[in-house]
Structure 1
């Protein structure tokens, strides 16, 4: 703690720039606490608050712009990679797509205040085809709001934060041990929940694209169900011909009113482990429907060279 305080006092703006840049890129660095320290430092240095605000906002904009470009160029492969290394990969893409579906561009304004959404929002915006100027403008608003509020809180409560830093310095190694124990307990709980969810999702039969196509060409009635979150005004790109859309954020029995009652349903998504498709299948089974999951989702279907329709 003393080392961080000393480093900040000597190289405050550089520390702010690097912490925000690396934090927004995805490195496990405490960028928000650094912004709070910038607010504390501003109490004794005239003009430092505005300098830190500009530096932090521009650093966030650069990092987010890189992720936006990656999403535009590489599409959902970026999202899948980021979600696989997250603590909750099974719901990662779905939750972030749902946020864009509900809030649209306002997601970029609140993203940095929501754990997990901060890293995913820029590449998801690129993947969904948001215009570059539109993204940069709204992301700038979100970055400025986040950095400004953190620095302002640090400035407002600089006395209390100083007291906490002094207390932690006195505890020395005990403070690190306590923080490490709490972190490990949190990770253990999340991993346990992840294992529970994985067991639940594996209960469903999964069909490969060729098996699903054969079922479609058979005698029975088959209906594909697309459970990807849909953002108003942004195209999903393509879907399996004739697929119905099911909104996981608003599951209601009424949504199935015009669906063929005897059809076998095959759910699909574009997410790690087919998690969203399996969750939809669980709900549909509870409604008394016959349902299976398309293994690999829409990506596996298109990679197999099967027909899709533009939406």
Structure 2
């Protein structure tokens, strides 16, 4: 009679009744009473808490509308970000690039036609004593490019080629710095793939000199 209130036991009621040799009539009466009690209990609960259930369903309806609005807002934000990134990429289309393999091959030439300068424009500074950089490269701080540009002027001559590298996805920092330098009539090229591509091409690297490290304050 109460088997319907216990999950899983209702399916076992008929086999158990048969194994105990319960008469069919008695089983049907008890099963009908159990079904009536089960339905009555849940109907009573629904009637007693009808007001609360109505509030819950209304809250769920409002939540579904809010979720739909949030989903549409996220979709619009994604589309807007995609448009902005596409416009930025088009602005940087004029930036010249060079592969790490090509640059490494040119550096192996015994007498290069022009002076070749490789500049590290990674967005983070030299803080880790174990940091590496491309051998003989110079550091250009992208966050204070105007000040760095004064020092770079001595390299910006027709007989000099300047190559930039970073460790960002899609060479973001290198491209941005190259674009800013191009506006100052300083022509540069971006090493595609940055530091990782250079190492993969077999290019030489070196530890950052102690004099170039930026020591963070210590609190002993």
- State the TM-score, normalized to the length of structure 2: 0.59
What secondary structure sits across from 1:301 in the alignment?
Answer: helix
Which residues of 2 match residues 182-197 of structure 1 at below 5 A? 182-197=73-88
Q: Distance in 2 between matches of 1:269 and 1:294?
A: 8
1:261 equivalent in alignment to 2:156 = yes
Which residues of 2 match residues 37-116 of structure 1 at below 5 A? none
1:245 equivalent in alignment to 2:139 = yes
Q: Distance in 1 between matches of 2:134 and 2:145?
A: 21
**Aligned match for 2:72, one of 146, 165, 181:** 181
Q: Distance in 1 between matches of 2:172 and 2:126?
A: 23
Which residue of the partner structure matches residue 15 of structure 2? none
Contact 1:270/1:299 (<8 A) preserved:
yes
What secondary structure sits across from 2:195 in the alignment?
Answer: helix
Measure how far apart 1:172 and its partner are: 4.0
Which residue of the partner structure matches residue 288 of structure 1? 185
Which residue of the partner structure matches residue 168 of structure 2? 271
Higher RCO, 1 vs 2 (CA within 8 Å, ≥6 residues apart): 2
Which residue of the partner structure matches residue 124 of structure 2? 230
Root mean square deviation, CA, Å: 2.5
1:301 equivalent in alignment to 2:207 = no
Contact 1:285/1:291 (<8 A) preserved:
yes
Could you list the structure 1 runs, at least 4 aligned residues long, displaced by more than 6 angstroms after superposition. none
Measure how far apart 1:174 and its partner are: 2.0
Contact 2:122/2:166 (<8 A) preserved:
yes
Measure how far apart 1:169 and its partner are: 4.4
Deviations 1:74-106 (A, max 9, x none): xxxxxxxxxxxxxxxxxxxxxxxxxxxxxxxxx
Contact 1:253/1:287 (<8 A) preserved:
no
Q: Distance in 2 between matches of 1:293 and 1:166?
A: 58
Contact 1:206/1:292 (<8 A) preserved:
yes
Higher-helix-fraction structure: 1
Contact 1:225/1:267 (<8 A) preserved:
yes
Return the index of the structure with the highest Cα Rg: 2
Q: Distance in 1 between matches of 2:130 and 2:170?
A: 20
Higher-strand-fraction structure: 2
1:203 equivalent in alignment to 2:94 = yes
Q: Distance in 1 between matches of 2:167 and 2:63?
A: 47
Which residue of the partner structure matches residue 220 of structure 1? 114
Measure how far apart 1:278 and its partner are: 0.8
Any stretches of 5+ residues in structure 1 without a counterpart? Answer: 1-164
- State the TM-score, normalized to the length of structure 1: 0.43
